[in-house]
Amino acid sequence: MSALGALIRRDIRIAVRVGGGALIGVLFFLTVVVLMPFALGPDLALLARLGPAILWLGALLASLLTLDRLFTADHDDGSLDLILMSRTPLELACAAKALAHWLAAGVPLIVATPVLGLLLNLDGPATLAVALTLLAGTPALTFTGMIGAALAVTLQRGGLLLAVLVLPLSIPVLIFGVAASNAAILEQGALTFSTPFSILCALSLASLVIGPFAAAASLRHGLD
């Protein structure tokens, strides 16, 4: 456990440095949300109706932007080989790296959501509802994206290949995240909100179990 804690702390320190990736994701998220009102025009009702989808799409793209750093830096400096040869199970190491990535890149997006929601004409309860769905759904984006990141580093291909691998896996998270946000904002009832929100939580839990094993299998097969 001490080795996993050290790995998490190391990855967080690297991510928060200049150029580490965490700040890039937040700035990209901010850019997407700021530009959308200019593209959609001065219709405040339209902004409020599309606000949850815009926030979720910005979070998805920002998460995708930083995923290529999950294993690439460790592969380039040889740290990934040491992780493979260590006594710590590779599945736990992958889970620890994904957790560190979510803490450094995903949590800042959630924290920024209530502020950015004001730019989309969302009131306080609406932005908090979107932030709650992001809190439940962004772990799924990270742990499913870890599978694509592992495949990309083993094939030594990034960029477009990572997007092609990860985006199809992220679509269900996007659908149920937006659905839960809209149900909460439109006050359609607790039952209407709980259904997509429960599915969103289930997707995160499933990715938490499947992601580390799939990523570890890909790394073992590709780097052996």
161-172 confidence digits (pLDDT tens): 777 888 888 999
How far is the C-alpha of 207 from the C-alpha of 143, rounded, in Å?
6
pTM of full prediction above 0.85 = yes
Helix (H/G/I), strand (E/B), else coil: 51? helix
88: left (phi over 0), alpha (psi -120 to 50) or beta: beta
137/203 Cα distance (integer angstroms) = 8
What are the structural domain ranges in the chain? 2-221
Query: Quick count: other Cβ atoms within 10 Å of Cβ 156?
Result: 10
Provide the pLDDT for residue 193.
Answer: 82
Please check whether residue 134 is in contact with residue 62, taking contact to mean a CB–CB distance below 8 angstroms: no
Supply the pLDDT for residue 190: 54
CA distance 201 to 32: 25
18, with CB counted inside 10 A (0-12, 13-18, 19+), is: exposed
The residues of the chain scoring below 50 in pLDDT are: none
Give the angle subtended at the CA of 173 by the CAs of 172 and 179, to the nearest 5°.
90
Q: Considering the chain, what is the average pLDDT of its residues?
A: 85
State how far the Cα of 3 lies from the Cα of 8, in Å rounded to an integer.
Answer: 9
Contact status, residue 100 vs residue 13, Cβ threshold 8 Å: no
